[in-house]
Amino acid sequence: MIGALFFMMFRDFFYMLRIRLLTKNKLTWKAAFYVIMIWEFASALSPGVVGGAAVAMFILNRETIPFGKATAIVIITAFMDNLFYVVMIPFVFLFIHHSELFPTGQASSVALTWWFWVGFGLIFFICCILYLTIFWYPKLASRFLLFIFRLPFLKRWKFVAKEWGKDIEKASKEFKQESRFFWSKVFLTTVASWISRYLVINAILNAFVDLGFMDNMKVLGQQLVLWLFMLVSPTPGGSGVAEFAFGELLASFSSSAILLAGLAILWRLISYFPYLFIGSFLLPAWIRRTRK
């Protein structure tokens, strides 16, 4: 259980390291801590399909990062997160059979499988769009902003959208000039943060169930399926959907529905609810800190 708590801290540490890399260390460790905690707080309050990225650019902008560059950074983090998923799925299937990743002998098995592959295709498509947007056609982002600001109640700020678009294009040129070593570091911090996130469940399961090495690998693979359900969830932070998917996907490790329900609640107590309390505590102090 102590391991589960440490993995959560590692997850946030690597997120902080990534945001410092992308801002060229313009954010101090303290500022990066505030950004990530408020970002996670926003994610916990937002539906899984929306996520905290919708407000992350405003969080970064309040930390003196130009809005256009902040938008570019958020696009890059979304691209890296999706790239991790796209890369890991084929890697997982090299070692774990398809039938072991989905619940078998259940009426929902076929539906879960189809849902997963459709979701994977969607994520792959989004990954390609994000890559093209930030590295090849940044005008896509600026045109999208201009399209949004054509709405009647936003039209008066259209000139602001034009400036944001210019900042996005400028940031895109800067990021295109970065070395492969730089992008390797950004991707490795992404991998480390996601693996740390997944190992939380492994640590909790190992506290109650005797698992071997391949069992732990199977749990890691099944969490890719679990994450997809949380991603498309319409509820804040994936609440309800995450707990249900947890019990469905990990049912092969225990026949006790009570134990699985207890483990799901324990997992959410460690990985979800702390951000609600930390965020609500830090938010007023952060607003005062960034007021100027």
Question: What's the pLDDT tens digit per position in 197-240?
Answer: 989 989 998 888 888 888 888 888 878 777 776 666 666 656 66
Residue 166 sits at φ, ψ, to 5 deg, of -65, -40
Say if CB 11 and CB 193 are below 8 A apart: yes
Query: pLDDT per position in the chain (292 positions), as tens?
Result: 999 999 999 999 999 999 999 998 888 999 999 999 998 898 888 765 556 666 788 888 888 888 778 888 888 888 898 899 888 888 777 777 766 666 555 555 666 677 777 778 888 888 888 888 888 887 777 777 677 777 776 666 666 667 667 777 777 888 888 888 999 999 999 999 999 998 998 999 888 888 888 888 888 887 877 777 666 666 665 666 666 767 766 777 766 778 888 888 888 888 888 998 998 999 898 888 887 6
CA gap 1, 201 in Å, rounded: 10
Query: Quick check: pTM over 0.75?
Result: yes
Predicted local confidence at residue 13, as pLDDT: 96
Query: Exposed e or buried b for every residue in 109-142, given b needs 16+ CB within 10 A?
Result: eeebbebbeebbeebeeebeebbebbeeebeebb
41: left (phi over 0), alpha (psi -120 to 50) or beta: alpha
Question: What's the pLDDT tens digit per position in 32-70?
Answer: 999 999 988 988 887 655 566 667 888 888 888 887 788
Instruction: For residue 212, list its beta bridge partners.
Output: none
Instruction: Give how many domains the chain has, as a whole number.
Output: 1
Residue 236 sits at φ, ψ, to 5 deg, of -60, 125
Residue 82 sits in which domain range? 2-289
